[in-house]
Amino acid sequence: MSGQALSALADPTRRELLERLARGEASATVLARDLPISRQAVVQHLGVLDAAGLVRSTRHGREVRWSPRPDGLIAAAAWLTGLAEEWDRRLAAIKTIAEEG
């Protein structure tokens, strides 16, 4: 799991784009329709997500369509799950100490 993926996911617009792409592949033009940013800004955000390994593009004639990359998303989810489990263990240990103390 790269820090690049976490950095990409830190932006709410990029998370919104990922949520929309989870419903199916789409072009930057389609993705920009209901967002308060330009198509060019959407393309820049998609470039960040692509560099982080979270989305991919495919060309269909003159149109570029974007879709999620499951392997990148699975790696990010696995890393976050491991982090959450570690904090659960730490909090359980603190609870045990507090109850025994």
pLDDT 10s digits, 19-70 = 999 999 999 999 999 899 999 999 999 999 999 999 999 999 999 999 999 9
Q: Show the domains of the chain with their CATH numbers.
A: 3-100 (1.10.10.10)
pLDDT (average), residues 65-86: 92
Residue 1 scores a pLDDT above 60: no
Helix (H, G, I), strand (E, B) or coil at 26: strand
Pairwise CA distance, residues 84 & 4, whole Å: 19
Pairwise CA distance, residues 15 & 21, whole Å: 10
Query: Can you give the pTM of this predicted structure?
Result: 0.81
H/E run at residue 13: helix 12-22
Determine whether 43 is exposed, middle or buried from the number of CB atoms within 10 Å of its CB (0-12, 13-18, 19+).
Answer: middle
Strands (E), the chain: 26-27, 55-60, 63-68
